Amino acid sequence: MAAPSPPPATTRAYRVSNVLAPPTRPASLRLLLSDAPDAATLDDWVVAVNRATAAANAPPVRHLVRLCAADDASYDAQAPALADIEVHDGIKFADGGTPSKDQVAAWLAFLRKVMAESARNGETVAPTIAVHCVSGIGRAPLLVALAYVESGVDPLEAIAAVRAQRRGAFNTTQVRFLADYKGRKALLLKDKDLDRIAAEPDAADRAGGEKSAGPGSKMRQWLKGALRRKPSKTSVASKGGEGG
């Protein structure tokens, strides 16, 4: 009797969260968290995120924010599997760490642009944005939690909302960062600002590692000013880099 065929070597079960929906306006954001795909299993990752959005009756993923370095995200952003997804590589910070003020400003500017474009097109829900780091329990959840806080949610409630969908999210440094973070409701947009915000360049492609996001526009200057606060006692990179 012939031996059974081994399972395909490329099959992998990704930890893809349920769709998260911070209470932004006028267009609602839909965010997905996952661990990092690789070149061999990228097709599996796309299947997994499509399944997650379909289960939530959410729009398909059209943006992917890749927070980890190239060595930790070994797939081609131009791969056929990503033909309908735009990959954004501009925001990078240390494993287990927290973003700089410029990186936070770039993330918020990117979300504002996606929301403004959707609202101007008459869409009440923006295309889903997937966010991953390496393990999907540190850097990516941190940015998603910031989206909640900037929608008017209390930081501790934001942490709980993300952890409900991503068990083990955040290390001590990241929890302290969020607890100290002072939101300015940057994701509650006014209709009169939509045209200007939609015309902005894509901030998530230009922020760079720890480099400044650049002087940019009035919107970027407003965001950077709004994010000025007393430095936290916690370090930018946690000791030991707790996965993500």
Kindly report the CATH number assigned to the domain that includes residue 209: 3.90.190.10
- CB-facing half-sphere around the CA of 1: CA atoms within 13 A: 1
pLDDT over threshold 90, residue 127: yes
Question: Residue 26: inside a domain, yes or no?
Answer: no
The pLDDT of residue 12 is 58
pLDDT more than 70, % of the chain: 77
**Lowest mean pLDDT: which of 7-16, 132-141, 145-154, 196-205?**
7-16
Question: Quick one: which H or E segment has residue 55?
Answer: helix 42-55
pLDDT given at position 227 = 41
Mean pLDDT of the chain: 83
Helix intervals (H) in 56-181: 101-120, 139-149, 155-165, 172-180
Tokens encoding 186: 């940057």
Question: pLDDT higher for 158 or 205?
Answer: 158
Does residue 204 register a pLDDT over 80? no
Active site residue 133: yes
pLDDT digits (tens, 9 = 90+) for 6-17: 444 444 567 899
pLDDT at 74: 77
- Compute the distance between CA of residue 51 and CA of residue 109 in angstroms, rounded to an integer: 28
In a domain, 233, yes or no: no
- pLDDT top residue among 91 and 217: 91
| Confidence (pLDDT) at 216 | 39
Q: How far apart are CA 199 and CA 172, in angstroms?
A: 38
Angle between helices 101-120 and 139-149 (to 10 degrees): 60
CB 99 within 8 A of CB 191: no
Domain presence at residue 21: no
- In the predicted structure, residue 217 carries a pLDDT above the cut 60: no
Q: Is 65 within a domain?
A: yes
Q: Is the model's pLDDT at 223 over the cut of 80?
A: no
Could you say which of 71, 95, 180, 191 is catalytic?
95
Residue 23 lies in a domain: no
Q: What is the pLDDT of residue 202?
A: 77
Using DSSP bridges, classify how beta strands 128-132 and 31-34 pair: parallel, antiparallel or unpaired.
parallel
- 68 assigned to active site: no
- The answer, yes or no, to whether residue 57 has pLDDT greater than 80, is yes
Q: What range defines the domain where residue 178 resides?
A: 31-226
- Catalytic entry in 133, 154, 202, 205: 133
Q: How many domains does the chain have?
A: 1
3-state SS record for 127-160: CEEEEECCCCCCHHHHHHHHHHHCCCCCHHHHHH
| pLDDT over 80 (residue 224) | no
**What are 61-107's pLDDT values in tens digits?**
999 999 987 666 679 999 999 999 999 999 999 999 999 999 999 99
Indicate whether 222 belongs to any domain: yes
Crossing angle of helices 172-180 and 139-149, rounded to 10°:
20
Instruction: Single out the residue of 68, 73, 65, 109 nearest to residue 197, CA to CA.
Output: 109
What is the three-class DSSP state of 6?
Answer: coil
Mean pLDDT over 14-33 rounds to 94
53-57, 122-126, 199-203, 211-215: segment of lowest average pLDDT: 211-215
Examine the pLDDT at 144 and tell me if it is beyond 70. yes
The pLDDT assigned to 72 comes to 65
Inside any domain, residue 39: yes
Q: How many CB atoms lie within 10 A of CB 180?
A: 15
**pLDDT confidence of 2, banded at 50, 70, 90?**
low
Whether 15 maps to a domain, the answer reads: no
